Structure 1
C-alpha cells in the first residue's frame, strides 16, 4: 500500500509498504479521508517531535472497516467509522479515573504508532465510532471537533459570556460555531488582511484585529477589563501573550495551540489577574458526531484543499499558506 512517511522534519516521503494485518481486538480501516492538523504541521516543521521516527502521521481519519483481528468482530466489516487516537491500557490509575487520554502506557495513532496518511490504518475495535449519516469530509472533522468540545468540558461557560477567539484556523472556526450554539457573544481576533476573515464572519463572529479587540473590550466588557473567556487558537507562540491581554481578571484562557515552540508571556500579569489557563486536547467523539449529524456545526467551507495521497508533500506545503484552513488527503 502507499503511505506517507515522515523520516525527519522536512523529510516526508511517499512509500510502498505491506498492508498491516489486524490481530486480536484490532481492526483495519481503509482510509477514505484524513486531515492535516496543526500537530502534523509542527512535526513537519520540526518544532514538535513525534514520539517515534520514521512514522506515518495522520489522526483525523474517516474510513471503512476492511478487516478484523478475530471472528467476534466480523460484524464491524463494512462499517463507516472514525477512530479515537489514544490506545490506552484501561487498567492504570488514569484510565480508571476517566482520564484515558493521559494513560502513561498509551500509544497514540499518528504520533507514537503509524497513523492514517496511508491506504490502511490499524486501530483497536473499542476506539472506533460509527459515522453513518456523515460525509467522509465530516467524518474527518470528528477528532478536531471533539477537541474543541473538550475545552468546554474542562471549563463550562455561562450563557451570554463575552468570548474572544484568537486565531481563525480550523480550531478557531470550530470554536466560533460551538460558542455561538451556547449563546456566547463571540469576537474573533485575526490580522486585518486575513483571507479567512470572511468565513469567520459568515459563521457569526465579529472579526477584528488585536488592537481593535483591545479597544472593543474597553466599551463592551464589564468595566472595560476584558473577556470572560479567551480561546487561544493561533498556532503561534505569540498567541498566549495576546490572550492574556484580552482576558478579564479571574477569566479563563482556553489553550488550543500545539505548535511545539517555547512560549514567553507576562507571568506576573497572569498571577495579578488570577487568570486560569486551561489546556485541553482529545474530547468526546459521540458528542462531536451528534453535532455534525444534526448539521449544527458546518465544516463544508473549512476544507480549502484536497489532494491525493500521492501529492502528500505538496499538500503539506500548501497547508502552510495563509489562505488554507484544512487540507485533506484522499488515499
Structure 2
C-alpha cells in the first residue's frame, strides 16, 4: 500500500507499507480522501517541531471514509464521511482524569508522534471520528485546523467590548479569527505580510489591520485602534520567538496573552512587562472533542465558509514535487490540500 513519509529534514519519499488489518474492538478502518497541510506539517518537514521524530508518515488534518468497523463501534458505520480528531489520549493519566484530554501526559498525535493519514487507508480509534452527512472531504479535512483556533479563542475568551488581537494570519491565526469574530469583541490582526492582511480585510471585513515593521509604527497603530487602551486578549499564532516575546507589550491592564503557536527556542522578556499590567500568560494545546462537533455544525449552517481557505491543491502522486512550495509564504499559500483518493 502506498504512503508518503517524511524521512529526514526536508526529505519526502514514497514508500510501500503493509495493508492494515481488519479493525479490532473499538476501531475503524478508514480510507483517506483528503489531507490538509498545516504549519505543524511544515515545521515537521523543516525539522523544527518539538514533538516530531523522523521517519514519520504525516497527516492529521483528514477527511476520511469509513470502510469497516470493529466490535462495539456504534458511533460510525461503513460509508460514513468523517473528520478525524487526531489526539490519541490514554484516558487514565492526571490530565485525562480531569477532562483535559488535549493535554494527556501520554498523548500520541497521529501524523506527528505516530504515523498518520498520508496513505491509502489506516486504522483509528472509532471514538475519534466525527461524522457529517453534508460536508465534503475538503471541508472535513479543515475541521482540525479550525478546532485549534476554536480552543485558542476559548482560552483567551474575548467578550463583547474587548479589544482582541490575533498575531499571525496563517491557518491557525485565521482559525482563531473565525471564532473571535463570533464573540462580539473588536478584532485586530497583525502580520508582517501585507498580502495576508489584505486577504483578511477582503474575506473577513477586518479593517483593524496592523502591519508589523518593527519600527514602532505598529504600536502607534494599535493605540489608534484602541483609543490608547491596547488589547485585553492577544493570541499569538506565529510560532516566532521574537513575536511571542514581544507580544506582552501590547496588552491592556489585566489582559491575557495566549500562545497557540509553538517554537523550540527560548522566549525572553523583562519581568515588568508582565508584572505591570498583571498579565495572564496562557498556552493553548490541541482541541477538545466538542470543538469538532461545534465546527461541523457551523460549517453545515454556513456560519463558517471554508471556500476561501484552500489556495493550493496537489495529488497523492505529485506531493513529492509540490510540498516544498507549501513551505514558502511567497507562494501565497494559506491552506494546501492533498487529494489522496
Q: SS where residue 300 of structure 1 aligns?
A: coil
Q: Which residue of 2 is the match for residue 219 of structure 1?
A: 224
Deviation at 1:3, TM superposition (A): 1.0
Measured against aligned partners, the alpha-carbon deviations of 1:44-81 in whole angstroms (never above 9, x if no partner) come to: 11112444432111101111011223375696111100
Counterpart of 2:199 in structure 1 is 199
Q: 1:259, 1:330 → 2: CA distance?
A: 29
Aligned partner of 1:325 among 309, 314, 334: 334
1:276 to 277, 280, 290: 280
1:235–1:110 Cα change, 3 Å: same
Candidates 233, 241, 244, aligned match of 2:245: 241
CA change 1:131–1:264 in 2 (3 A) is farther
After superposition, what is the alpha-carbon deviation per residue over 1:195-226, rounded to whole angstroms, capped at 9, x for unaligned?
Answer: 2222200212122213444113323436x141
Q: Which residue of 1 aligns with 2:211?
A: 209
TM-superposed CA distance for 1:95, in Å, is 1.6
Please name the residue that 1:10 is paired with: 10
SS at match of 1:76: coil
Distance 2:250 2:76 in 1: 51
2: CA distance between counterparts of 1:188 and 1:141?
A: 21
Match of 1:168 in 2: 169
CA contact (8 A) 1:32 1:64 kept: yes
State whether residues 66 and 80 of structure 2, in contact with CA within 8 Å, keep that contact through their aligned partners in structure 1: yes
Q: How does 1:129-208 map to 2 (within 5 A)?
A: 129-191=130-192, 193-202=193-202, 203-206=204-207, 207-208=209-210
- The alignment of Structure 1 onto Structure 2 pairs a total of residues equal to 329
Cα distance in 1 for partners of 2:81, 2:324 equals: 30
Per-residue Cα deviation, 1:225-250 (whole angstroms, up to 9, x for no partner): 41111111123222213422222122
Matched, 1:35 2:36: yes
Give the TM-score of the pair, scaled to structure 2.
Answer: 0.89
Match of 1:303 in 2: 310
Single out whichever of 125-134 and 97-106 deviates more from structure 2. Answer: 97-106
CA distance in 2 between partners of 1:128 and 1:302 (Å): 22
TM superposition score normalised by structure 1: 0.92
Query: Separation in 2 of the partners of 1:37 and 1:145?
Result: 11
Alignment of 1:16-27 (within 5 A): 16-21=16-21, 22-27=23-28
Question: CA shift at 1:8, angstroms?
Answer: 2.0
Unaligned runs of 5+ in 1: none
Deviation per residue, 1:93-141 (Å, 9 max, x gap) = 3222111122223322112211111121321011111022112221111
When residues 196 and 221 of structure 1 are mapped into structure 2, their CA distance, relative to the original with a 3 A threshold, is: closer
After superposition, residues 107-122 of structure 1 pair within 5 angstroms as 107-122=108-123
**Residues 315 and 327 in structure 1, CA contact (< 8 A), matched pair in contact too:** no
Which consecutive residues of structure 2, in runs of 5 or more, have no partner in the other structure? none
| SS of corresponding position for 1:298 | coil
Write the distance in 2 (CA, Å) between the matches of 1:269 and 1:75: 50
1:175 Cα deviation from its structure 2 partner: 2.1
Indicate conservation of the 8 Å contact 1:166/1:231, yes or no: yes
Give RMSD over aligned pairs: 2.1
Q: What per-residue deviation string (whole Å, max 9, x for no partner) do you get for residues 148-205 of structure 1? A: 11123334222121111111111122222321221221111122x5322222002121
- From 312, 321, 324, the counterpart of 1:314: 321
